[in-house]
A and B are shown apart, each in its own frame.
Chain A
Amino acid sequence: MRFRTIASVVAGAAALALAVSGCSSSSTPSESSVASAAQSVAQSATSKVASAASAAQSAASSALAGATGNSQVLSSADAGKLVVGIKFTQPGLGVKNPDGTFSGFDVEVAKYVADKLGVDPSKIEFVEANSAQREDLIGKGQVDYIVATYSITDARKEKVNFAGPYFIAHQDLLVKSDNTDITGPEAMAGKILCSVTGSTSAQTIKDKYAADVALQEYPTYSDCVDALLSGAVDAVTTDDVILAGFAAQHPGQLKVVGKGFSNENYGIGLKKDDTAGTAAINTAIAAMIADGSWKKALEDTVGPSGYTIPAAPTPSS
């Protein structure tokens, strides 16, 4: 009998150790997912009330809607409610906070644009837009526009319309602070580079700069950063503004190499062929840059990470 008690105590201790070690690597996502589940329940409850109210409003404004044609963004804006896709897990750019609020530069841009379209920023419903889902969300009309580190590329232009760019990022490398031998993408030969599963940025380095680089893929950048901190990988690659956010989370331990080697034009994605909506958003971005709130938003969100605020782009396309 005593043996059995000891055995179960040992087993219990082992369980505890496993649980603790398991949690330490994943506590943040699980906490936030619980929070987000709770929040979305609350949100759906309130949105029902809101939609009932806005239904009445849209009935009233539908007479005016004829002027906006078939632009989804503009008709949603007339109805007084916008659904905007952002990233939920990108420090400094688009983050869902544990208390259910959203912060980051993309969020600030989304709010400013909504304001210019005549929608109160509190009436925006933010939904998560993962990289792989973005074209689909827009195509099916589940979001009005997407502000989610969305690089303007020719392939994507065939499926969605882009307003902007509102920001120009550069692909860069994140390394440990005491690392001196990784000075740029060419120095990655014989090193291990980490990126998220299916990402194209790591492939770019392998194809263009260092064929001898080894690629480790993890589901999220946070996993890559953990592996970098433990020394299992030598560098993490993606856009510098994203890396700066992670460097800020681990002050003194990580640094961005600072040799940006590509231009990523972040645009606001919206429905294909919605020229009226694109023009309206372009005007809003230009206004944001002109009145200084663009710079202020950047300083408030990515500024603390030590990222040098670049010159503003000119929205055109």
Chain B
Amino acid sequence: MDFSFLSDPRYDVLGAFWVTVQLTVWSAIGAFILGVVLAAMRVCPVPLMRGFAGGVVNIVRNIPLTLIIIMMSQVIANQLGLRLATRQPGVNPQAFLDTQNFRLAVLGFIIYTSTFVCEAIRSGINTVPPGQAEAARAVGLTFTQVLGIVVLPQAIRAVVAPLGSVLIALIKNTTVASAIGVSEAALLMNTLLENEADKFTAVFLVIAAGFIVLALPTGLVFGSLAKKASVKR
């Protein structure tokens, strides 16, 4: 099998996977924060917020990710004019374009992945015995305190393993960003397939191996974390 494209200076394989890693990290941080907020809204006593969060989760979760990502670029950025980077006149717009597409993709991933984070955390909240929240309320804690000090810390510790699965799914989902031209691993693969059509198998193997290298340790780390973090009852 011919792996000569690995040393070809036109194809930056490591650089492409570095973009994949960056996409994953920023999206994971954003999705975790938004997911916790959504989960808090879904269990809060205000019906309007509960309804809103439930609506968002059920809508976003059921839209294909490709559609969300293309919508971010074609509808949100191109039609509605959202700019997440500034384009300086007279300068090569490539940097602007790269930043803009990268941030649009991260935003899309955050919106999409946060719904799965939210549902994972909500299931974690169900593992916390109701007596805990009742006791917390009985000593005079407000809803925010009950959730923030008592319920959420136990809930999140219970769902470390499911969150790991969400993260692994996110790593692989970042390939969709190639649909709006973010130069990550899948875009490199498409370019390779176009230019090096005779090295199909080798290209697929390299890209697949790259993703396994990223995803496998993530699964192992989250597996052992889950054991450590679980609440002993």
Q: Is the CB of A192 within 8 A of B97?
A: yes
Minimal Cβ-Cβ distance residue in A for B191: A198
Q: Is the CB of A190 within 8 A of B181?
A: no
Residues in A with CB closer than 8 Å to B179 are 197, 218-219
Minimal Cβ-Cβ distance residue in B for A210: B92
User: Is B157 interfacial (CB 8 A cutoff)?
Assistant: no
User: Is A216 interfacial (CB 8 A cutoff)?
Assistant: yes
A29 CB to closest chain B CB (Å) equals 11
Q: What is the count of residue pairs linking A and B with beta-carbon distances less than 8 angstroms? A: 119
Knowing A198-B193, A214-B93, A217-B187, say if A8 contacts B51 (CB, 8 Å).
Answer: yes
A223 to B178 CA separation, bound complex (whole angstroms)? 13
User: Is A123 interfacial (CB 8 A cutoff)?
Assistant: no
Q: Is the interface of A mostly helix, strand, loop or mixed?
A: helix
A216 to B96 CA separation, bound complex (whole angstroms)? 11
Count contacts on B: residues with CB < 8 A to the other chain.
43
Residues in A with CB closer than 8 Å to B52 are 7, 10-11
Q: Is the CB of B54 within 8 A of A218?
A: no
Residues in A with CB closer than 8 Å to B29 are none
A191 to B94 CA separation, bound complex (whole angstroms)? 9
Interface size class of A (residues with CB under 8 A): 35 or more
A3 to B45 CA separation, bound complex (whole angstroms)? 12
Residues in A with CB closer than 8 Å to B195 are 198, 200
Name B residues whose Cβ lies closer than 8 Å to a Cβ of A. 46-48, 50-52, 54-56, 58-59, 63, 67, 70-71, 73-75, 77-79, 90-94, 96-97, 101, 178-181, 187, 190-195, 197-198, 200
Q: Write 24 A-B pairs (CB below 8 A) sorted by A numbering.
A: A3-B47, A3-B51, A4-B47, A7-B55, A8-B51, A11-B58, A11-B59, A14-B55, A22-B75, A26-B67, A26-B70, A136-B200, A190-B91, A192-B97, A198-B193, A200-B194, A214-B96, A214-B97, A215-B97, A217-B178, A218-B73, A230-B78, A230-B79, A232-B77
